[in-house]
Homo-oligomer: A and B are copies of this chain.
């Protein structure tokens, strides 16, 4: 290999420009040109600048991987999810894509299935494909193990927060959502408010109940029936709990269901018992799972956790981290009330 023998001579126009042409034009060896374009440290800054300039002048079109090594960006982000059913991941994915700009960045979703080995494998695959950053989505809003501080790209945790406070996590606001649901029922003039919810082992169930009880306590109220009805995340539990509730507490005027599935069961029993919704009992759900909420009779007022918004913010925070401004700690994204026909003011 001759070194710099024809420095400054442009490559013929009738063939593809190669790394060799760039090296010759810059007056360096092919190996040095390669190192310079690959961002390796053994090259002096002036040399690297000369090589990059030569590459630009010659319109050197290496493959995209080589190009990405120059810019240090690939325009791809990994979304590593453990949310099996895709109910949380898809809106988060969409929000992130919107925030990145769908013509700027591609988000690659990988399904880790709450399995540590699978997660590690996908993590390796995404990193080896040189994604610029990672969004890690949990299956539940409970704390998860950090991927560690040694990763070569920034990470933002979404839905399930990292257990390392140096990481940045974005979480939904289940406590605030519980408050919001009860607050809406109070504004509708309801005072005998019951709360039927899911599995008490889930942080989401506990947090929603806590918010609801706090808001009730501020008005000097207790939940109708005297306690929170924990059970399962199912329509069947919504039906069973409502039957028990109606036996124990005949003057209930509102039910806050901890999920839209539970709310569907609540509505079915009220319908069977010819108890009008919303005039006699108002019902509010949680999740805004459209297939359940919009199709309910009457269509269900519910709390939306704003997962798309969470995805958008995750993308913004990840972009900031990629620019060298990483965040840390846990950031809470507020939910919002979606009113349909199952709640209304008492006349």
Contact assessment for B109 and A109 in the assembled complex, using a CB-CB cutoff below 8 Å: yes
CB neighbours (8 Å) of A190 from chain B are none
CB neighbours (8 Å) of A117 from chain B are 103
| CB of A89 to closest CB in B, whole Å | 7
Contact assessment for A75 and B125 in the assembled complex, using a CB-CB cutoff below 8 Å: yes
**For residue A125, which residue of chain B has the nearest CB?**
B106
Contact assessment for A264 and B295 in the assembled complex, using a CB-CB cutoff below 8 Å: yes
- The reply to whether the CB of A268 lies closer than 8 angstroms to some CB of chain B is yes
Q: At the interface with chain B, which of A90-98, A167-175, A331-339?
A: A90-98
| CB of A54 to closest CB in B, whole Å | 16
The complex places the Cα of A251 from the Cα of B85 at a distance, in Å, of 40
- The reply to whether the CB of A110 lies closer than 8 angstroms to some CB of chain B is yes
CB neighbours (8 Å) of A20 from chain B are 31
Which residues 281-318 in A have Cβ within 8 Å of B in the complex?
289, 291-292, 295, 297
Which residues 33-63 in A have Cβ within 8 Å of B in the complex?
34, 63
Q: At the interface with chain B, which of A126-134, A140-148, A211-219?
A: A126-134
CB neighbours (8 Å) of A85 from chain B are 90
Partner pick for A103 among B90, B94, B121, B265, CB 8 A cutoff: B121
- The reply to whether the CB of A122 lies closer than 8 angstroms to some CB of chain B is yes
The complex places the Cα of A108 from the Cα of B291 at a distance, in Å, of 27
Most buried by B among A64, A117, A295: A295
Contact assessment for B122 and A106 in the assembled complex, using a CB-CB cutoff below 8 Å: yes
**For residue A34, which residue of chain B has the nearest CB?**
B34
Contact assessment for A31 and B1 in the assembled complex, using a CB-CB cutoff below 8 Å: yes
Contact assessment for A111 and B94 in the assembled complex, using a CB-CB cutoff below 8 Å: yes
Partner pick for A106 among B1, B30, B110, CB 8 A cutoff: B110
- The reply to whether the CB of A19 lies closer than 8 angstroms to some CB of chain B is yes
CB neighbours (8 Å) of A93 from chain B are 111
Partner pick for A109 among B108, B113, B236, CB 8 A cutoff: B108
- The reply to whether the CB of A181 lies closer than 8 angstroms to some CB of chain B is no
| CB of A88 to closest CB in B, whole Å | 10
**For residue A292, which residue of chain B has the nearest CB?**
B291
Using a CB–CB distance below 8 Å, which chain A residues touch chain B?
1, 3, 19-20, 29-31, 34, 63-65, 68, 74-76, 78, 84-86, 89-90, 93-94, 97, 102-103, 106-111, 113, 115, 117-118, 121-122, 125-126, 128-130, 234-236, 261, 264-265, 268, 289, 291-292, 295, 297
What would be 8 A-B contacts, judged by CB atoms less than 8 Å apart? A20-B31, A31-B31, A97-B111, A107-B110, A108-B125, A109-B109, A235-B295, A291-B291
Going nearest first, the 3 A-B pairs with the smallest beta carbon separation are A106-B125, A64-B128, A108-B108
